[in-house]
Amino acid sequence: MPHDAPAPLHILRLSDLFDGVAARRLEAWLAALQPATQVRIDLSKVREFHDFGLAVLAQALSRCRAEVTVVGLRQHQVRMLRYFGVEASRLEPAPGAAAGLGGPQA
């Protein structure tokens, strides 16, 4: 009897700047994923977020058929993505972010 193995988990870690260019690259990558793919996008090392990049990310997540979780977000980024319609179940704040202790709100 064949056993379906769980889809592998892909981890993508981004750092430094998350602007429109970085978001568009991520959007293209997400669009190419298969529906059963599990992805964890780690943004904990991003030092500077542009709101336009977050808007592009929100659109990409709404169209993406893969199972994507975005981790390492600060409170502002979680709030912005929620405003843009991203489900809370896809977002995992950085430790301390919910209490406002997630570092600078870039």
Domains and CATH numbers, the chain: 9-93 (3.30.750.24)
**DSSP characters over 8-60:** PEEEEEEEEEE-HHHHHHHHHHHHTS-TT-EEEEEEEEEEEE-HHHHHHHHHH
Among 5-9, 46-50, 79-83, the least confident range: 5-9
pLDDT of residue 96: 75
Residue 2's pLDDT is: 57
Residue 1 has pLDDT above 60, yes or no: no
Q: What is the pLDDT of residue 36?
A: 86
Judged by DSSP in three states, 77 sits in: helix
Give residue 94's pLDDT. 87
**Measuring CA to CA, which residue among 11, 21, 86 is closest to residue 43?**
11
Task: Please provide residue 52's backbone torsions phi and psi, each rounded to the nearest 5 degrees.
Answer: -65, -40
pTM of the model: 0.83
Query: What's the whole-number mean pLDDT along residues 6-14?
Result: 87
